[in-house]
Amino acid sequence: MSTFYFIAFLSIFFSILVISAKNPVHSILYLVLTFFTFTIHYILLNAQFLAVVNFIVYMGAILVLFLYTLMLINLNKEAEPVKPFMVKISAVFGGGILAVALVSSLKSLGVSDPVVLKDPNLGLVKNLGKVLFNEFLLPFEISSVLLLSAMVGAVLLATKEKEPKATI
């Protein structure tokens, strides 16, 4: 249990650093560390497959692409966009509302009962596959369609509009 609290502390600590870091590249690197602590959480929950997939997909692929994009756009101090005053005001307002919502949710705070898994091997690949393709087949397939539509959208955005053929 103490491991959990330590890792949970690290998760929150790194995620605070993500938003407070001045340099966007440092921010992404803190996000990598945050995702790494999530991986440890999954391992503590005995969900090996989920842990490794989180590791590969989020840390190994998505954040590498984030970092890649950030390195390509040159973020100097001079090139930093100056935000207009109204945007700052509305950001403060939005943050305040979020804070109120979070504080009010504290009212219903209680210590959760630790869920005792009926089957400690539930997180293993074999069992996860069986559950996904039997009980949750429809949501699983629908989410894959969602990914496909995102991919089609990205391809559509990336392709140039057809230029009229040059006459010789």
Three-class SS state of 59: helix
Shortest Å distance, C-beta 56 to another protein: 5
Tell me whether residue 57 or residue 100 sits nearer to another protein (CB atom): 57
Shortest Å distance, C-beta 100 to another protein: 38
Three-class SS state of 80: coil
User: Helices in 54-136 by DSSP H: which ranges?
Assistant: 63-72, 85-105, 125-134
Tell me whether residue 13 or residue 93 sits nearer to another protein (CB atom): 13
Which residues does 18 contact at the CB level (< 8 Å), separation at least 6? 27, 30, 31, 34
Query: E strands of the chain, at which residues?
Result: none
* Distance, CA of 162 to CA of 165 (rounded, Å): 9
Shortest Å distance, C-beta 71 to another protein: 6
Shortest Å distance, C-beta 26 to another protein: 8
Tell me whether residue 62 or residue 92 sits nearer to another protein (CB atom): 62
Tell me whether residue 7 or residue 51 sits nearer to another protein (CB atom): 51
Shortest Å distance, C-beta 86 to another protein: 34
Tell me whether residue 60 or residue 95 sits nearer to another protein (CB atom): 60
141 CA to centre of own chain: 21
| Residues found near another protein in the complex (CB under 8 A) | 25, 29, 32, 48-49, 52-53, 55-56, 59-61, 64-65, 67-68, 71-72, 124-125
Which residues does 28 contact at the CB level (< 8 Å), separation at least 6? 63, 66, 67, 70
